[in-house]
C-alpha cells in the first residue's frame, strides 16, 4: 500500500507531534549509574539469544491461520527476530527492484543516532566482540552502513514526523519528499531498523496510525522492516511495546525485541529519567568482553541490533542471493 499524504493537509498536525519527540541525549557523564546503586531485577548478567532461537509465536509463511498472540506474549519473544514469514517475499521483491542487500537503514529518533548507535563497528579499534566473534562476518557484510548518518534519524523525529516532508533534509531530499522516503531512495537498503521510542501524550492510537504507514511504505518499497520494541515505559502499561509486537505479527515482519535485551541489566538499562539508555563504564559501549556486571543499555542495544542484522544476513539474505 503506497502512502500518499499531502504535506499541506498534515503539516500542522505533524509539527505539533514533533514537539513530543525525544530530545537531545545528555552528556555521557550525566547518564552513568553510580556503582553503588543496585538494580531491581536481581540479575547480574545479560543472556542475549542466538539468531537460531525462536518462540511459539514465531511467524511462519503458511496457509494455516496463525494463532493470535496474547496481549503480554511479546514479553516472551526472543531478542533476535525470526526472518520467516513475509520477510523473504519482501526481500525478493526488493532485489528485483535493485535494492542493495549489503545496505541497511536506521529509521527513528535519538536512540538511533551515530553518536551512540552502531557507528563504532566501522572501526576495529573501537569494539571488542569477545564471545561474539562470529559476528565479524556481518560487520564486514554491512561495512559502511553502521556509521552512515541516516536521513530518517534525528533527535525529536517521531513516528509521525518521519513521514512529514517538512522535516526532510533540504540538501538531500527534493521538495515534497518525507525523511523516510528520502532515506530509502538515497541509501537503497534491503533492510530497515525501525525504532521510535515515544508517543505524544501517551496516545497509542496515533502511534499505531503512523507506525502502520511507516511499515507499509517500507514494504511497498521492497525494504524489509525490522521493528523494535523500546526499553522505556513512559506511556505506562508497556502499551507501545504491545502495539509494536502486535503490528509485527499482523504484518508478518521481523521483531527486534530490544525490551527483552535490557531486562537483565541494572535498572533495565535506563538512566534515572526512565528514558535514556545507560552508558558502559568508560563509555565502552562496544566492548562485549566486559564482565556482565558492567553491561549497560547502550551495550545491549548495539549488540542486539548487530545480532539482528546477523540473523538477517544468514537466514534471509544468504538464501536469496546464493
Residue 66 pLDDT:
78
- At 57-84, the pLDDT tens digits run 333 434 457 788 888 999 999 999 999 9
Q: State the pTM of this model.
A: 0.82
Domain boundaries, the chain: 71-321
What residues in the chain have per-residue pLDDT under 70? 1-64, 199-201
For residue 200, the tally of other CB atoms under 10 A from its CB is 17
Q: Crossing angle of helices 204-220/179-187, nearest 10°?
A: 30
- At 21-57, the pLDDT tens digits run 454 433 333 333 222 222 333 333 344 434 334 333 3
For every residue of 280-320, DSSP letters joined together read PGGG-TTBTTS-GGG--HHHHHHHHHHHHHHHHIIIIIHHH
3-state helix, strand, coil in the chain (%, to 5): 45, 10, 50
Architecture of domain 71-321: 3-Layer(aba) Sandwich (3.40)
Torsion of CA 275, 167, 151, 99, to 10 degrees: 110
**Per DSSP, what are the bridge partners of residue 264?**
none
Amino acid at each position: 500500500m503506497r502512502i500518499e499524504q499531502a504535506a499541506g493537509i498534515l503539516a500542522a498536525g505533524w509539527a505539533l507531534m514533533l514537539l513530543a519527540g525525544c530530545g537531545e541525549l545528555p552528556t555521557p557523564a550525566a547518564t552513568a549509574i553510580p556503582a553503588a546503586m543496585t538494580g531491581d531485577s536481581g540479575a547480574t548478567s545479560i543472556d542475549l539469544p542466538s539468531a537460531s532461537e525462536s518462540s511459539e509465536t514465531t511467524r511462519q509463511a503458511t496457509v494455516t491461520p496463525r494463532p493470535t498472540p496474547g496481549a503480554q506474549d511479546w514479553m516472551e519473544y526472543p531478542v533476535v527476530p525470526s526472518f520467516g514469514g513475509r520477510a523473504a517475499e519482501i526481500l525478493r521483491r526488493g532485489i528485483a527492484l535493485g535494492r542493495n542487500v549489503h545496505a541497511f537503514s536506521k529509521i527513528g529518533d535519538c536512540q538511533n543516532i551515530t553518536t551512540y548507535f552502531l557507528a563504532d563497528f566501522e572501526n576495529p579499534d573501537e569494539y571488542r566482540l569477545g564471545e561474539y566473534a562470529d559476528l565479524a562476518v556481518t560487520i564486514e557484510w554491512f561495512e559502511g552502513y553502521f556509521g552512515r548518518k541516516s536521513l530518517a534519524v534525528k533527535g525529536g523525529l517521531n513516528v509521525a514526523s518521519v513521514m512529514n516532508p517538512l522535516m526532510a533534509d533540504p540538501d538531500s531530499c527534493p521538495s515534497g519528499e518525507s525523511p523516510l522516503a528520502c532515506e530509502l531512495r538515497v541509501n537503497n537498503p534491503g533492510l530497515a531498523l525501525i525504532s521510535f521510542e515515544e508517543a505524544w501524550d501517551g496516545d497509542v492510537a496515533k502511534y499505531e496510525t503512523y507506525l502502520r504507514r511507516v511499515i507499509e511504505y517500507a514494504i511497498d518499497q521492497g525494504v524489509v522492516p525490522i521493528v523494535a520494541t523500546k526499553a522505556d515505559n513512559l506511556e505506562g502499561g508497556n502499551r507501545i511495546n504491545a502495539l509494536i509486537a502486535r503490528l509485527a505479527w499482523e504484518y508478518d515482519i521481523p521483531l527486534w525485541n530490544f525490551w527483552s535485551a535490557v531486562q537483565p541489566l541494572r535498572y533495565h538499562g535506563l538512566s534515572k529519567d526512565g528514558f535514556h539508555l545507560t552508558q558502559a563504564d568508560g563509555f565502552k559501549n562496544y566492548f562485549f568482553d566486559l564482565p556482565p556486571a558492567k553491561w549497560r543499555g547502550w551495550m545491549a542495544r548495539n549488540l542486539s541490533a548487530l545480532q539482528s542484522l546477523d540473523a538477517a544476513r544468514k537466514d534471509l539474505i544468504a538464501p536469496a542471493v546464493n
